Copies of this chain bind each other. A is one copy, B any other.
């Protein structure tokens, strides 16, 4: 082993970019191979199927997120509530940069994939759901601390965390549909106003 090839990485990076900028169904393996300067044979040596490639792309981006700006935004050193604004800002600047570069707002890769494939691919759906649950957990931590510090009144922090994630995804969806990152900037901060009271049982 250790033949030091970046073939797999090139495939992964190219697929990620194409899936994010367009869609899962719209991007073919041939196109990925061409852009990544890889042959079909090599592709199927590393990935048994398009579905497995999608899984790898999801995991790859999920890792990048967890160690990238999501980690920055949810830095324990920041006041909990500021973390929410940081996250919104990060999304805004990211989407704006992507639009400037490619002319179109790509939105959230996970949200895009989730709506596209989750009715016909249980495995991918479950994977994407896990990504959302991990993201929700970051919101949850922040809310728990905010309540603890008295910066927020007591509330159902778990449900509110999920609600905030939902809101963020919804804002990105609308912004993408309008092809205008400013939607994120304008609507985003209202994420802090979302509240779900305790004791809704269930």
Contacts and interface: CB of A to CB of B under 8 A. Distances in A.
Interface of A: 21-23, 25-26, 104-107, 111-112, 114-120, 125, 128-129, 132, 159-160, 162-163, 165-171, 173-174, 176-179, 182-183, 186-187, 189-190, 193-196, 200, 202
Contacts of A105: 119
A23 B25 contact: yes
Given A22-B120, A186-B202, A200-B186, A174 B162 contact: yes
Complex A-B, nearest 8 residue pairs according to Cβ-Cβ distance, in ascending order: A170-B170, A25-B25, A166-B170, A169-B170, A114-B177, A193-B195, A166-B171, A166-B174
Contacts of A165: 170, 174
Copies of this polypeptide in the complex: 2
Contact of A115 (B111, B119, B129, B168): B111
Nearest to A117: B23
Contacts of A114: 173, 176-177
A14 B22 CA distance: 26
A194 B25 CA distance: 35
